[in-house]
């Protein structure tokens, strides 16, 4: 080939290149076609698929339809009815209210499949059909089958024209799952539209049209996410400037192993955005283990001009004009909802414990979930850190001494005989004595029944506190609960006193890519606040001069690399905060009452009252619950009393 061999590519190839970006897999086709139906104002959308969408995808809607003269244009590249210029001939790409605007989907899909577009336009009584195969677009032909306006797009043999792409597809089952997922996402924001999905003649999903109000929205969400979610979710409704964030976020104890159950929408558009994902992670940061993820649905609305949707061909990524503002709104709203929920832990847990559901699907695994008395995430403390433990006021009395309680009711239990059911003590008690004790406690419990975590009755197996409220029985894992209390306290102290730094005798030089150096230096100030002092060391390295004293002797290189990765993935530096929190958690765990420490009733009640007044005390630092509540009504059902 000679040096001036530049040619203009044929349309078919141009479209196939565009398809490479827009159509990654069958679900991308479904997304584009359903979005077109939504833009056409349909209120019923039906999707029929075969063999994971590879053999066929047919989407039918009852929207406004396409007039005859527009049919050939619809499959023409860069032709759209969704962008208009104003009187002065100016085009505005920043005020896009429709899902589509690129005029690219139909020609791209047509270039790699056999596509037929059939439509009956509003206020006409004719149906026309057009087909595209390879470079050939047929002339429109009369068709039938439409009783009202609407459109049907048939996509057969996807990727037949680019067989290499077929090799990148997963099994039909996985592709169907992706199709189902995208329809669910679109259905979450389009409540008043009915959706139907068939695969190989089997009905996979049917979502009836709902009212376009809050109740309708909730109904749709519970239909998609299950009743569990509704019971385990907190409501978010928060405004800042012209932005409005609504939605539902799962309690930290209702976590999953993948972030796939996070549904985020910006101005009605489902998005997978790293800024949003980062903000969510930031909000849940110290409530969940690193590998667990909350379930949530968030709808963000903001003026069209504050967001640029023209950032990605598939339009799942967006750009915010003021990312910091969006981030602040999300973190603020989520954190305040989570801390208001305070000691709340997932009600579903007790449902599972009562045998009403399958535990495995929600919990990491029994082995991780049930406390073994120690912290499995815990690293041994270095001598320096042990010293730090002593430096911290992690005194058990601070939490267990009834006199340190400021809020809540005066304790009437103080002179009550202890009702300890540990094996050793039990042997010494006669049945009669035990009965007396519990009777006298009964009246007392009723007086205090309005504490959310009730009144302690007994400690069992040296770690579980049994308490009673007016309508339930609660079991508290004292170790997990105490760990959270100590941890929250340490965090407060960290925040109040600032993070102490420790200078390195010899600065550590870490080699990075030029862009990584620039990225990390953008966060210089924030890192310093968290105790890490870095500076430029030429173009391809940074020097670390000071580190947070709490970290002891960390692997600085790894820490910096983690931070660089975070910045790339989330646009911010989590790792340092996370390492600090991890240390706090480890210290907290060491400073916490181990399971196995006997508590008397006063101490137990003090712990319960502290839990009620401490943020996030419904779960320990790894998202495990600190207590489980059994409603009396459920227990009665269990015994056949109801
Ligand atoms: P875009 O949606 O970005 O405009 P598409 O290639 O997806 O680009 O569609 C091209 C045009 O075809 C749309 O602008 C619209 O006018 C028309 N169209 C596509 N699908 C439908 C449909 N289901 N109902 C009505 N019109 C449609
Ligand atoms: Mg479109």
Place of tokens 């077109």: 36
Beta strands 627-631 and 533-536, pairing class? unpaired
Q: Give CA angle at 143 (139, 149), nearest 5°.
A: 110
Across-strand partners of 235?
248
Across 419-447, average pLDDT: 36
Q: What is the pLDDT of residue 424?
A: 36
Which amino acid residue places its CA nearest to atom 20 of ligand 1? 36
Assess whether pLDDT exceeds 80 at residue 461: yes
Total count of residues recorded for the chain? 642
* d(CA 200, ligand 1 centre) in Å: 26
Q: Which residues line ligand 1 (CB under 6 A)?
A: 32, 36-37, 40, 61, 63-66, 74, 80-82, 100-106, 151
Ligand nearest to the CA of 72: 1
Across 508-516, average pLDDT: 88
Assess whether pLDDT exceeds 60 at residue 408: no
Task: Select the more confidently predicted residue: 168 or 383.
Answer: 168
* d(CA 35, ligand 2 centre) in Å: 6
Place of tokens 């999903």: 205
Q: Is the dihedral of CA 215, 217, 221, 223 positive or negative?
A: positive
Place of tokens 């007790």: 350
* d(CA 36, ligand 1 centre) in Å: 5
Assess whether pLDDT exceeds 80 at residue 152: yes
C-alpha to C-alpha distance for 52 and 402, rounded to whole angstroms: 63
Q: What is the pLDDT of residue 118?
A: 98
Q: What is the pLDDT of residue 298?
A: 95
Task: Select the more confidently predicted residue: 38 or 620.
Answer: 38
Q: What is the pLDDT of residue 594?
A: 58
* d(CA 502, ligand 1 centre) in Å: 61
Terminal Cα distance for the chain, rounded: 85
Tell me which H or E stretch contains 118.
strand 114-120
Instruction: Specify the ligand 1 atom closest to the Cα of 32.
Output: 7
* d(CA 20, ligand 2 centre) in Å: 16
Q: Considering only CA atoms, which of 275, 282, 254 is closest in space to residue 325?
A: 275
Q: What is the pLDDT of residue 359?
A: 33
Residue 582: band (very low, low, confident or very high) from pLDDT cuts 50, 70, 90: low
Assess whether pLDDT exceeds 50 at residue 381: no
Across 413-437, average pLDDT: 33
Q: Is 596 helix (H, G, I), strand (E, B) or coil?
A: coil
Among 60-64, 82-86, 307-311, 379-383, the range scoring the smallest mean pLDDT is 379-383
Across 8-28, average pLDDT: 90
Task: Select the more confidently predicted residue: 506 or 565.
Answer: 506
Which amino acid residue places its CA nearest to atom 8 of ligand 1? 103
Tell me which H or E stretch contains 334.
helix 323-341
Assess whether pLDDT exceeds 90 at residue 390: no
Instruction: Specify the ligand 1 atom closest to the Cα of 107.
Output: 6
Tens-place pLDDT, residues 299-323:
999 999 899 988 887 778 889 989 8
Across 564-568, average pLDDT: 76
Which amino acid residue places its CA nearest to atom 12 of ligand 1? 74
Among 320-329, 375-384, 514-523, 553-562, the range scoring the smallest mean pLDDT is 375-384
Q: Is the dihedral of CA 476, 482, 484, 485 positive or negative?
A: positive
Tokens of 357: 């559901």
Residue 589: band (very low, low, confident or very high) from pLDDT cuts 50, 70, 90: low
Across 518-529, average pLDDT: 83
Ligand nearest to the CA of 102: 1
Q: What is the pLDDT of residue 360?
A: 30
C-alpha to C-alpha distance for 48 and 200, rounded to whole angstroms: 8
Assess whether pLDDT exceeds 70 at residue 565: yes
Across 68-96, average pLDDT: 90
Residue 230: band (very low, low, confident or very high) from pLDDT cuts 50, 70, 90: confident
Assess whether pLDDT exceeds 70 at residue 587: no
Among 200-204, 224-228, 590-594, 604-608, the range scoring the smallest mean pLDDT is 590-594
Q: What is the pLDDT of residue 384?
A: 39
Q: What share of the chain is helix, strand, coil (3-state, %, to 5)?
A: 40, 20, 40
Most confident among 145-159, 247-261, 374-388 (mean pLDDT): 145-159
Ligand nearest to the CA of 31: 2
Task: Select the more confidently predicted residue: 519 or 291.
Answer: 519
Assess whether pLDDT exceeds 60 at residue 420: no
| Ligand 1 probe mutation, 74, 128, 137, 140, most atoms within 8 A of CB | 74
DSSP sequence for 288-309: S-TT-EE-EEEEEE--GGGEE-
* d(CA 54, ligand 1 centre) in Å: 22
Q: What is the pLDDT of residue 353?
A: 57
Residue 22: band (very low, low, confident or very high) from pLDDT cuts 50, 70, 90: confident
Which amino acid residue places its CA nearest to atom 23 of ligand 1? 37
> Do residues 109 and 23 lie in contact, with contact meaning Cβ atoms separated by under 8 Å?
yes
Across-strand partners of 472?
469, 631
Residue 366: band (very low, low, confident or very high) from pLDDT cuts 50, 70, 90: very low
C-alpha to C-alpha distance for 119 and 145, rounded to whole angstroms: 10
Q: Which residues surround ligand 2, an ion (CB under 5 A)?
A: 36, 100, 105
Tell me which H or E stretch contains 473.
strand 472-477
C-alpha to C-alpha distance for 46 and 30, rounded to whole angstroms: 11
Q: What is the pLDDT of residue 132?
A: 96
> Do residues 394 and 486 lie in contact, with contact meaning Cβ atoms separated by under 8 Å?
yes
Q: Exposure string (b/e) for 475-492, b if CB count within 10 Å is 16 or more?
A: bbbbbbbbbbbbbbbbbe
Residue 398: band (very low, low, confident or very high) from pLDDT cuts 50, 70, 90: very low
């Amino acid at each position: 080939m000679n040096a001036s061999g530049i040619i203009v590519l044929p349309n078919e190839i141009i479209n196939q290149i565009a398809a490479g970006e827009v159509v990654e897999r069958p679900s991308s086709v479904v997304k584009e076609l359903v979005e077109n139906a939504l833009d056409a104002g349909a209120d019923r959308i039906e999707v029929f698929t075969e063999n994971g969408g590879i053999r066929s995808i047919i989407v039918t809607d009852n929207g406004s339809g396409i007039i005859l003269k527009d049919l050939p244009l619809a499959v023409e590249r860069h032709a759209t009815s969704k962008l208009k210029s104003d009187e002065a001939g100016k085009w505005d790409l920043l005020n896009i209210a429709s899902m589509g605007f690129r005029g690219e989907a139909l020609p791209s899909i047509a270039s790699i499949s056999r596509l037929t577009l059939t439509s009956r336009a509003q206020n006409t009584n004719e149906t026309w059909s057009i087909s595209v195969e390879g470079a050939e677009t047929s002339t429109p032909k009369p068709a039938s089958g439409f009783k009202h306006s609407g459109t049907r797009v048939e996509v057969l043999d996807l990727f037949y024209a680019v067989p290499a792409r077929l090799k990148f597809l997963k099994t039909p089952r996985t592709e169907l799952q992706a199709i189902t997922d995208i329809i669910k996402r679109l259905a979450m924001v389009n409540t008043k539209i009915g959706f139907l999905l068939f695969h190989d003649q089997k009905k996979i999903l049917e979502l009836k049209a709902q009212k376009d109000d809050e109740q309708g929205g909730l109904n749709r969400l519970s239909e998609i996410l299950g009743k569990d979610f509704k019971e385990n979710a907190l409501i978010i409704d928060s405004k800042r400037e012209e932005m409005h964030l609504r939605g539902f976020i799962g309690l930290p104890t209702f976590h999953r192993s993948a972030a796939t159950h996070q549904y985020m929408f910006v101005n009605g558009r489902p998005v997978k955005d790293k800024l949003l994902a980062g903000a969510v992670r930031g909000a849940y940061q110290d409530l969940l283990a690193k590998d667990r993820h909350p379930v949530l649905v968030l709808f963000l609305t903001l003026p069209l001009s504050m967001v640029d949707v023209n950032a990605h061909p598939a339009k799942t990524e967006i750009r915010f004009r003021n990312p910091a503002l969006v981030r602040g709104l999300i973190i603020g709203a989520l954190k305040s909802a989570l801390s208001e929920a305070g000691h709340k832990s997932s009600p579903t847990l007790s449902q599972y414990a009562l045998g009403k559901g399958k535990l495995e699907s929600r919990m990491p695994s029994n082995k991780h979930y049930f406390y073994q008395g120690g912290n499995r995430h815990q690293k041994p403390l270095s001598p320096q850190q042990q010293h730090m433990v002593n430096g911290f006021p992690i005194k058990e009395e601070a939490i267990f001494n009834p006199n340190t309680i400021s809020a809540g009711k005066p304790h009437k239990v103080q002179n009550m005989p202890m009702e300890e059911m540990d094996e050793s003590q039990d042997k010494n008690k006669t049945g009669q004595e035990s009965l007396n004790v519990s009777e006298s406690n009964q009246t007392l419990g009723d007086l205090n029944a309005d504490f959310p975590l009730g009144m302690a009755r007994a400690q069992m197996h040296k770690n579980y506190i049994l308490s009673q409220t007016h309508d339930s029985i609660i079991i508290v894992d004292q170790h997990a609960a105490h760990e959270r209390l100590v941890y929250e306290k340490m965090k407060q102290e960290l925040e109040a006193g600032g993070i102490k730094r420790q200078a390195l005798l010899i600065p550590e030089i870490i080699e990075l890519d030029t862009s990584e150096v620039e990225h990390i230096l953008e966060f210089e100030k924030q890192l310093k606040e968290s105790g890490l002092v870095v500076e430029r060391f030429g173009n391809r390295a940074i020097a670390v001069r000071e580190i947070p004293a709490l970290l002891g002797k960390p692997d600085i290189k790894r820490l910096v690399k983690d931070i660089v990765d975070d910045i790339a993935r989330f646009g911010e530096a989590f790792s340092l905060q996370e390492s600090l929190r991890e240390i706090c958690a480890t210290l907290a765990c060491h400073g916490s009452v181990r399971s196995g420490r006997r508590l008397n009733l006063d101490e137990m009640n003090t712990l319960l009252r502290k839990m009620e007044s401490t943020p996030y005390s419904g779960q320990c630092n790894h998202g495990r619950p600190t207590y489980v509540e059994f409603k009396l009504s459920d227990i009665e059902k269990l015994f056949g009393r109801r």
